[in-house]
Amino acid sequence: MRNSKIRLRAAAAVAALSLGAVGLTALAAPAARAADTGTAGEQVVKLPISSFGSLVVDSVHQRVYVSDDRRTSGTGSVQVYDFGGEKVTTLATDDVPSTMALSSDSSTLEVGQTSGVVSFDTTSYARTGRVYGTYDVYCPRDTGFAGGRTWYTGTNYDSDCDNRTYTVYGTANGTNTTTGWNDTGRLRLFSTPQTPDRLIMAQPRGTAVTDPHLAVFDASGTSLVRTAERRFADSTGQGGLDMRDVAESADGSLIAVADARTGTRLLNADDLSDASTAYQPLPDGAVASAVAFSGDGKYIARGAAATGSTADLLVQAADPADATPPLEFAFEGALDGSKVVPRGLAWSEDGSRLFAVTNGGTGYEYWLHIVQPPAAQYDTRFTGPLSTSAARPVVGEPLGIRGRLEIDGPAPAQPVKVTAVRHDAGGDRTLAPAEVDSDGTFTVLDVPSVVGPATYTVSFTGDLTHRPTEDIALETEVAKAPTSIALTAPAEGTKGVGLRITGTLTGQGRALPAGITLSVVRTDKRGTGTLTSAAVAADGTFTIDDIPGANGEVTYQVGYAGDDVHLAAGATATIRVRKPV
């Protein structure tokens, strides 16, 4: 039994639902992907590796390559799968492979190994070439393909690989070219088919590097030409990059960095300045580990290392201004992995599949997840105006905001919820989400806390299958809560003899404040006079003691002045007072 979970942040449904043979537990997403419904799904494959090197996707031949960087044994391999998760073959390397790169035409897989770079034909899987590195050492190499050639890194040391000086080399026609670019630490190389002449180099953080760089190179010529470079620490030395992965948007205009310190950094590719709009933060407790854009430009996947039910993977719209909630995956089980590994995300070119490598179990176990986002999105809309359950909302009293939501396309597998915000003199308050019934109706519950005008704005933020809905609003007036006074008085009394009137003050909405006093006015044939105020006890009761000074009808008028949230109230009692016998 598997324990991974998939959910939508916008929906608070907690009921689990099985995703068929895959066994995926869903908290808010559609149950399984089908081409005619556009719903999302997931498959999982246990990888026969004990150490992860890199992940490469060949969309032309529908193949997935995973390298086993088994450095302790001195040997390794490249595992090959199809897009359905079936094992195709294993590519044997001469020594330990680390990272891989695919040629721009997807005809050749370049595999960096400790002795250099070995090439494989992606159709026959036959070895087509080998370039020996400048150094044959224990330390891993990074590999990229740009400008029609393979680039790789190397160092002349055999230990403390993360803190040595690495140099970038190019290969062409079976020979090496020294670029002259070098720096401390295991330099990481990134390239994509969308920008075939661009090579990105990222410096990892280490004991000798506290302010790592990110650099962009033009590889179209015979030399690597740096076009942009940036370090991220401020004047006090804080904020340095802690890179785990780098990805380019489909149009090449943006670069996303999985930064273990800050989350997902989104940068302009031309100068590496911060993009005008950023992605929302990762969930609390999640540390960024991987990032990848889909080739069709629709999605971005953000991987993380998190514990418990905190999401380890978010799949969302690539446009950071799109507020559609992400599809979230929480990997929690011994049969799933517990985190997305650094550089462990890659998309098919058409965006129909996301491949994610997770690590967990004993720490030497890895899984390949094949996630299929929805094929289409459908419209949603609010129909008719909003209304309130009470004709006149009262401060401190429960109130329902009623409406109706229509959803096109397939019905979500879990209940849809709408959210609402109340705006009044006290500011904005987000209300608890309300579940939408099968007929589309919903009621958002609230207890207004401020007297006066209030505006309720209801939203449906959508999901990966359904587009967000244009907000709908309702303006209303919140009134003070009514109060009432009940009196109990004797029918008759005697002039000059004490009498007692008891009563109770009650109010709707918020509890009445402590220390209330009520005004008491007595009217008889001699005129009207104010008596001593009556103190109200905590339970709302009070007592009025008086000695009437005139016979005939005597009226006692008791009044409550009200407060900021309660209306005033009054009551009278008339007593027939007789002359003493």
Q: Is the pLDDT at 35 greater than 60, yes or no?
A: no
Q: What is the pLDDT of residue 12?
A: 25
Query: Considering the chain, what is the average pLDDT of its residues?
Result: 88
Q: Could you tell me which residue, 161 or 534, shows the higher pLDDT?
A: 534
Min mean pLDDT across 3-17, 118-132, 209-223 is at 3-17
Structure tokens at 334: 């011994």
Q: How far apart are CA 479 and CA 464, in angstroms?
A: 41
Q: How far apart are CA 256 and CA 268, in angstroms?
A: 9
Q: Using the CB atoms, write b or e for 86-115: b if 16+ within 10 Å.
A: eeeeebebbebbbbbbbbbebebbbbbbbb
Mean pLDDT computed over 555-561: 97
Q: Is the pLDDT at 159 greater than 70, yes or no?
A: yes
Q: What is the pLDDT of residue 300?
A: 96
In DSSP notation, 546-581 reads E---S-EEEEEEEEE---SSB--EEEEEEEEEEPP-
CA angle, residues 253, 258, 262, in degrees to nearest 5: 110
Task: Work out the pLDDT band at 464, boundaries 50, 70, 90.
Answer: low
Q: Is the pLDDT at 17 greater than 50, yes or no?
A: no
Q: Is the pLDDT at 413 greater than 70, yes or no?
A: no
Which amino acid belongs to residue 166? Y
> What are the pLDDT digits (tens) for 247-268?
999 999 999 999 999 999 999 9
Mean pLDDT computed over 340-356: 95
Q: Could you tell me which residue, 37 or 546, shows the higher pLDDT?
A: 546
Q: How far apart are CA 177 and CA 103, in angstroms?
A: 18
Q: What is the pLDDT of residue 535?
A: 97
Q: How far apart are CA 294 and CA 373, in angstroms?
A: 11
Q: Is the pLDDT at 6 greater than 50, yes or no?
A: no
Q: Is the pLDDT at 466 greater than 90, yes or no?
A: no
Q: Is the pLDDT at 19 greater than 70, yes or no?
A: no
Q: What percent of the chain has pLDDT over 90?
A: 70
Question: Which residue is it, tokens 């409550």?
Answer: 560
* Secondary structure of residue 112 in the 3-state scheme: strand
Q: What is the pLDDT of residue 207?
A: 84
Q: How far apart are CA 96 and CA 74, in angstroms?
A: 6
Q: How far apart are CA 542 and CA 573, in angstroms?
A: 14
Q: How far apart are CA 325 and CA 347, in angstroms?
A: 20
Q: How far apart are CA 493 and CA 296, in angstroms?
A: 91
Go through the chain and tell me how many residues it has: 581
Q: What is the pLDDT of residue 137?
A: 72
> What are the pLDDT digits (tens) for 377-406?
688 999 989 999 988 899 999 999 999 999
Structure tokens at 88: 């195709």
Q: Is the pLDDT at 580 greater than 60, yes or no?
A: yes
| 327 Cβ neighbours under 8 A, 6+ residues apart | 6, 7, 8, 29, 40, 314, 315, 316, 373, 463, 464
- Among residues 139, 138, 145, which one has the least CA distance to residue 119? 145
192-197-200-201 Cα dihedral, nearest 10 degrees:
120
Q: What percent of the chain has pLDDT over 70?
A: 90
Q: Is the pLDDT at 41 greater than 80, yes or no?
A: no
Q: What is the pLDDT of residue 74?
A: 64
> What are the pLDDT digits (tens) for 486-528?
999 999 999 999 999 999 999 999 999 999 999 999 999 999 9
Contact between residue 312 and residue 339 where contact means Cβ atoms under 8 Å apart: yes
Indicate whether this model's pTM tops 0.85. no
Task: Work out the pLDDT band at 376, boundaries 50, 70, 90.
Answer: low
Tell the burial category of 345 from Cβ atoms under 10 Å away from its Cβ (0-12, 13-18, 19+): buried
Structure tokens at 328: 């979230």
Contact between residue 25 and residue 4 where contact means Cβ atoms under 8 Å apart: yes
Task: Work out the pLDDT band at 410, boundaries 50, 70, 90.
Answer: confident
Q: How far apart are CA 384 and CA 440, in angstroms?
A: 12
Structure tokens at 387: 């209304």
- Among residues 223, 215, 250, 245, which one has the least CA distance to residue 147? 223
Q: Is the pLDDT at 16 greater than 50, yes or no?
A: no
Q: How far apart are CA 468 and CA 419, in angstroms?
A: 12
CA angle, residues 326, 47, 343, in degrees to nearest 5: 50
Q: Is the pLDDT at 357 greater than 70, yes or no?
A: yes
- Among residues 370, 372, 301, 366, which one has the least CA distance to residue 54? 366
Domains within the chain, CATH numbers bracketed: 380-478 (2.60.40.10), 483-578 (2.60.40.730)
Q: Could you tell me which residue, 425 or 161, shows the higher pLDDT?
A: 425
Query: CB under 8 Å, gap of 24 or more: what pairs does 32-36 form?
Result: 33/372, 33/374, 33/375, 35/375
Q: Could you tell me which residue, 32 or 337, shows the higher pLDDT?
A: 337
Q: What is the pLDDT of residue 133?
A: 78
Q: How far apart are CA 132 and CA 343, in angstroms?
A: 25
Q: What is the pLDDT of residue 175?
A: 79
Contact between residue 159 and residue 140 where contact means Cβ atoms under 8 Å apart: no
